[in-house]
Amino acid sequence: MTGQRSDARRNYQRILAVAEAEVAARGAEASQEQIARIAGVGSATVRRHFPTRRALLEAVFQERIEGLCERAHRLSTAEDGRTALLEWLHAFVLYAVSARGFAHVLSYEPPTEKPSPNSCGSRIEAAATPLLQRAIHDKAVEPHVTFHDLLTLSVGIALATEHHADPDTQADRLLRLAVEGLSPEQGTVRMPRDSGSSALVTENLPDGHV
């Protein structure tokens, strides 16, 4: 029995390592059959560990999901709620653009569904919603804005730019446009150029609203 469990763990790790490489190369449409062939196991073994494509993709992105959630928790103690929310949103969009397949995982979870509490979308929502609620409380974001609004915006930007010649730059531009609005004379926002930046500066925005 112990030997069977050890074999199962080795199979799981081997399948996951192959899946990470295939998803990085081919995105969300990576073939489970191809993953099984490269890992040297049967398709049934892959499906036993990962019953659905979503389950496989969520396992591939597990570590990065934890990183995004941890970043949200750290930012929850930031002095300015609006800055914290926009910094996290910027990091989230850049990751969604850089990690092929990630945006597709989240696009499987529209707000009309009730995903598992352990799904990517649910975990991200639980971690980042306090940032949004604080920004709303500070009157920096309109009260009708929901986390699913931000998720839909972020996923849409990632999917729209994934085949662009310079997806990071284009995604950053679109996010800035979404935050600033369509009337530049009303104000501008300088957002961080990389996900490690901690400062966002607001200039002349009426009432400080997003």
Q: Dihedral angle at the C-alpha atoms of 200, 203, 82, 145, nearest 10 degrees?
A: -130
For the cut 50, the answer to whether the pLDDT of residue 183 exceeds it is yes
CA-to-CA distance for 200 and 202, rounded, in angstroms?
A: 7
Torsion angle (degrees, nearest 10) of CA 96, 102, 104, 110 = -80
Non-local CB neighbours of 114 within 8 Å, separated by 6+ positions: none
Q: What is the pLDDT of residues 143-179, one digit of tens each?
A: 999 999 999 999 999 999 988 899 999 999 999 999 8
Question: What is the SS3 assignment for the chain?
Answer: CHHHHHHHHHHHHHHHHHHHHHHHHHHHHCCHHHHHHHHCCCHHHHHHHCCCHHHHHHHHCHHHHHHHHHHHHHHCCCCCHHHHHHHHHHHHHHHHHHCCCHHHHHHCCCCCCCCCCCCHHHHHHHHHHHHHHHHHHCCCCCCCCCHHHHHHHHHHHHHHHCCCCCHHHHHHHHHHHHHHCCCHHHCEEECCCCCCCCCCEEECCHHHCC
The yes-or-no verdict on residue 71 having pLDDT over 80 is yes
Instruction: Supply the mean pLDDT for the chain.
Output: 82
pLDDT tens for 89-142 read: 999 999 999 888 888 888 755 554 555 666 788 899 999 999 999 999 999 999
Tally of CA atoms within 13 A in the half-sphere of 158 that contains its CB: 26
CA distance 74 to 76: 5
198 versus 191: which is more confidently predicted?
191
Chain segment 16-37, per-residue pLDDT in tens: 999 999 998 888 888 999 999 9
CB atoms within 10 A of CB 144: 7
Band of the pLDDT at 210, cuts 50, 70, 90?
low
Q: Which residue has the higher pLDDT, 200 or 131?
A: 131
Q: How high is the pLDDT of residue 199?
A: 35
Can you give the pLDDT at residue 188? Answer: 42
User: Can you read off the two tokens belonging to residue 41?
Assistant: 């196991």
Q: Are 158 and 93 in contact (CB under 8 A)?
A: yes
pLDDT value, residue 108: 59
Higher pLDDT, 56 or 4: 56
Q: What is the pLDDT of residue 204?
A: 34
pLDDT for the residue 197: 39
Q: What is the pLDDT of residue 98?
A: 87
Q: Which of 55, 54, 60 is CA-nearest to residue 22?
A: 60
Which pLDDT score is estimated for 187?
Answer: 42
